[in-house]
Amino acid sequence: AARVLRTIGDATIRFDEDHLRILRAVRFAARLELRIDAELEQAARTLAPQLRAISAERVWMELERILAPPTRTCGWALLADWNIVDHIVEGWSPSDEQRRRICATFSALPPVEVQAHLIPAVLFADGSRSEVEARCRALRLSNVVTAAALWLIQSRNFLGDAEAVSLADLKLLMAGPDWPGLLAFLRADWIARRRGLEALDRVVRSDG
């Protein structure tokens, strides 16, 4: 009734019983737009490093539930503010600028549920192919999700100079696994990087 997220009993004890509850707290707070009890927040910040002991499959399940819905920006803000992001993907600790870029990209995506592969594409967009593959493996993502995320990132890189891309190249991309998702990702990524969208108009016109 008070719209406040709190645990039953001591928050530290509750999170110690199952550290994945930290991510569930983020999910509930974001999706239900709840204020957060101070004790719960402090316990989550303190125990966030324990998430490294949770199986990657369980972590990804919660991440997808946090970052796929339209409330993803709020979810990401909590993950970053509580420094949970440093403890959920082995070998990945995004810089302050990367965190800002990820938040801005999530904010610029359409306000609808997104497909799973768009999440790692946004999170790992600054990485090389080998880095993206390693981070997807660390999260135990399926080959299908990994391949689709890589395709989005590589296609984004290819379209970096959209004016120089031929119509034939665009038609190949349109026949790819997720052309609508690529356009949404490209637009959000360019907004996040404060890049003008004029060149994107040509790509959209080609789609029409």
- CA of residue 107 relative to chain centroid, distance: 11
Q: What global pTM score does this model have? A: 0.90
Closest CA to 11 of 20, 1, 22: 22
What pLDDT is stored for residue 122 in this prediction?
Answer: 98
- % of the chain beyond a pLDDT of 90: 78
The pLDDT tens digits for 32-78 are 999 999 999 999 999 999 999 999 999 999 999 999 999 999 999 99
Average pLDDT over residues 202-208: 60
What pLDDT is stored for residue 1 in this prediction?
Answer: 87
What pLDDT is stored for residue 151 in this prediction?
Answer: 96
In 90-202, DSSP assigns E strands to none
Q: Residue 208 pLDDT more than 60?
A: no
Closest CA to 27 of 58, 53, 63, 57: 63
The pLDDT tens digits for 84-136 are 999 999 999 999 999 999 999 999 999 999 999 999 999 999 999 999 999 99
DSSP state of 208: -
